[in-house]
Structure 1
Amino acid sequence: MRGDRSHVIAIVKTRDGTLPLLFVDGPARGGIMREQVALVRHIAGQGYSPSQQMKLTESIGRFCDWMQLAEPGTVPTPETLPVILRRFLVARYEGTVQRDGFDPTGLFWKPAKAQTVEMDRRHLNKLSDFVAREFGYFPLNPDTRIEGYHQGREAVREVEMVLSSRRQQLDFLGHVAHKRAPRPLRAIGPVSHRRPQREDDGHAFPLERLGDLIANEPSVVKRMIFIELAFGGPRISEALNHFVTDVLPGTHRPKLFPDDQPSDLPLVVLADPVASVFTDTLQFSTEDRRQYLRRRFDMLPRPDRPRRGDPLHAGWKGMLYDNTNLLVSQVYWSHPEWARTYWRLYSELLEIRRSVPKGVRESHPYLYINDSLRRPEFGQPIKIHAIEKAFVRACERIGLEPYRGKVSLHGLRHAYKRQLRMLGLKSSTRQRCMHHVSPDSQDIYDKAAAADINAALQAVRGANGQP
Structure 2
Amino acid sequence: MLLHEASPERIQKAVKAVGRIYDFYMIVEKGRPLSAEQMERMVLRFFEARQFGNSQLGWTAVSRNTAIDDYRYVMEFTDFAAGNFGHTPINPLELKLVSDLGIKEQQLLNSKMAIKKTWDKNYHLQPTTQEAQGIVATRKSKMPRKKNKKNRRPKHFPPDRVLDIIRATPSIRDKLYLLLLFFGGLRKSEPFHLFVTDIRIIDGSAVVRLADPEEGKYDWEEKFAGKQSGSRLQFLKQRYDLGPRSKLSVEHPLHAGWKGMVYENDRNEVTMQWLVPAIGEYFAHLHKEYMQQHRNHVKDDHPYYFINTRDDDSFGTPLKMSNMDKSFYRSAKRIGLRANQYGVNPHGARHFFGYFCATHLRLKIELTQVLMRHAYLSSTEVYYHLGIEVARRELEAGQKLLADSIPSFCQSMKKFANRG
Q: Could you list the runs of 5+ residues in structure 2 that have no partner in the other structure?
A: 1-16, 26-35, 51-70, 72-90, 98-128, 380-420
Local SS of the residue matching 2:250:
coil
Q: Helix, strand or coil for the counterpart of 1:266?
A: strand
AA at the equivalent of 1:336: P
Q: Does the alignment pair 1:221 with 2:173?
A: yes
Question: Map of 1:430-449 to 2, 5 A cutoff?
Answer: 430-438=368-376
1:46 deviates by 11
CA contact (8 A) 1:369 1:379 kept: yes
1:318 and 2:270 equivalent?
no
The structure with the larger Rg is 2
Matched, 1:289 2:227: no
Higher mean Cα deviation, 345-354 or 214-223?
345-354
- Measure, in 2, the Cα distance between the counterparts of 1:357 and 1:384: 19
1:80 matched to which residue of 2? none
Q: Check if 1:364 corresponds to 2:306.
A: no
Counterparts in 2 of 1:368-379, with a 5 A limit?
Answer: 368-373=306-311, 375-379=312-316
Partner of 2:30: none
TM-score of the superposition, structure 1-length normalised?
0.50
Q: Hey, what's the Cα distance between the residues in 1 that align with 2:363 and 2:228?
A: 36
Match of 1:340 among 271, 276, 281: 281
For residues 428 and 357 of structure 1, do their structure 2 counterparts lie closer, same or farther at Cα, with a shift above 3 Å needed? Answer: closer
- Whether 2:249 is the aligned partner of 1:306: answer yes
Q: Counterpart of 1:266?
A: 206
Partner of 2:414: none
Closer/same/farther in 2, CA of residues 133 and 363 from structure 1, 3 Å limit: same
Gaps of 5+ in 1: 1-12, 21-35, 54-125, 135-181, 251-262, 442-467
Residues of 2 paired with 1:412 and 1:439: CA distance? Answer: 19
Alignment match, 1:393: 330
CA contact (8 A) 1:222 1:390 kept: yes
Shift in Å, 1:49: 8.8
Match of 2:156 in 1: 204
* Alignment check: 8 A CA contact 2:94 2:137 kept: no
Match for residue 361 of structure 2? 423
C-alpha RMSD of matched pairs (Å):
4.3
Q: Which runs of 4+ in 1 moved over 4 A?
A: 43-50, 182-189, 193-198, 283-286
Q: CA deviation at 1:211?
A: 1.4
What CA distance in whole angstroms lies between the structure 1 residues aligned with 2:271 and 2:45? 33
Match of 1:236 in 2: 188
Measured in 1, the distance between the counterparts of 2:137 and 2:303 equals: 52
- Which structure features the higher share of helix residues? 2
**1:265 deviation in Å?**
2.8
- C-alpha displacement at 1:186, in angstroms? 8.6
| 8 A contact 2:181–2:350 mirrored in 1 | yes
Q: What is the one-letter code of the residue matched to 1:277? A: K
Q: CA contact under 8 A between 2:95 and 2:136: conserved in structure 1?
A: no
- What is the alpha-carbon distance in structure 1 between the residues aligned to residue 153 and residue 287 of structure 2? 30
2:192–2:319 contact (8 Å) kept in structure 1: yes
Deviation at 1:377, TM superposition (A): 1.5
How many corresponding residue pairs? Answer: 272
Separation of aligned partners in 1, 2:279 and 2:227: 30
1:353: Cα distance to partner?
3.4
Q: Residue 274 of structure 1: SS of its match in structure 2? A: coil
